[in-house]
Structure 1
């Protein structure tokens, strides 16, 4: 399930908005927001297509989990899906 958008990395390109097949995100004047988290199917399309590695999708598709963005960054988890599929 989509858990976080890293505001420091996100450039507001909205690629994630267009990549998401379930319309989880809303666009704003700044950066996209996670508007319908419960609709996320954990397909990882938003994370895969994000050129800035600004998204984290947790592998648990059933419920939202608490995440620590600093820990995700320190553990090099942000962007790990793109690297795993060879897109980064």
Structure 2
């Protein structure tokens, strides 16, 4: 789930707001994106991939928010790591872009969510 936008790195380009498929971000008055609907985040990493300033951190936990410390995230090198390891933009010639593999991950997640709904419905019916 998206957890952090580092204001000092953000260039206020608005790309993250545009590419988010779940409409999680809003453009702020000063240009800095606002985490408006974090609970709708699909953890697709699109905002992080398209952020050329490496100002966004998306935590891998897609079920719940986790507490992150901006200083720690910046010191850890996690900002921009997903973009880099995905061969995005300036990293295209050093790392393979294997985003096509995400299709399988998303399909499996969808199937798991559908199964969880069926299981929940079965539990409700047996009560």
TM-score range, shorter chain: over 0.9
For residue 24 of structure 1, what is the aligned residue in structure 2?
A: 24
Offset at 1:29?
2.1
Calculate the TM-score normalised by the size of structure 1: 0.97
Higher RCO (CA-CA < 8 Å; seq separation 6+): 1
Whose helix proportion is higher, 1 or 2? 2
Runs of 4 or more, structure 1, over 3 Å off, are: none
Q: Which residue of 1 aligns with 2:6?
A: 6
CA distance in 2, matches of 1:5, 1:48: 13
Gaps of 5+ in 2: 92-127
Q: Report the equivalent of 1:47.
A: 48
TM-score (norm: length of structure 2): 0.68
Q: Note the residue ranges of structure 1 that are not aligned, 5 or more in a row.
A: none
